[in-house]
Amino acid sequence: MKKANTLTPEDWIKAGFRALVSGGEQAIKAEAIAKSLNVSKGSFYWHFKDVSSLKEEMLKHWETVATHDIIFNLSTNSSAPLNNDQLSSKEQLRQLIEIVSSDASEPYGGVLAEPSIRSWARYNKDVAETLANVDKTRLAFVARLFESAGIPANQCALLSRLFYGSLIGLEQLSSNGAKPRVELHKLLDLIFQTNAKK
Residue 3, pLDDT score = 54
In a domain, 134, yes or no: yes
Please tell me which residue, 128 or 77, carries the higher pLDDT value. 128
From residue 150, alpha-carbon distances to 60, 116, 196, 198 in Å are: 33, 35, 9, 12
Rounded distance between C-alpha atoms, residue 197 and residue 188, angstroms: 15
Residue 9 counted as domain residue: no
* Domain assignment present for 83: yes
pLDDT attached to residue 197? 61
The most confident of the ranges 80-84, 135-139, 178-182, 189-193 is 135-139
131 in a domain, yes or no?
yes
Q: Write the pLDDT tens digit of every residue in 76-101.
A: 875 444 444 578 999 999 999 999 98
3-state class (DSSP) for residue 2: coil
Residue 6 lies in a domain: no
pLDDT at residue 107 tops 60: yes
Per-chain mean pLDDT for the chain: 90
Residue 27 placed within a domain: no
Tell me which residue range forms the domain holding 150: 59-197
**53 belongs to a structural domain:** no
Residue 24: which region, alpha, beta or left (left: phi > 0; alpha: psi -120 to 50)? left
Q: How many domains does the chain have?
A: 1
Q: Quick check: is 50 in a domain?
A: no
Report how far residue 192's alpha carbon sits from residue 9's, in angstroms, rounded to the nearest whole number.
42
pLDDT band at 5; cut points 50, 70, 90: low
Query: What pLDDT score was predicted for residue 99?
Result: 93
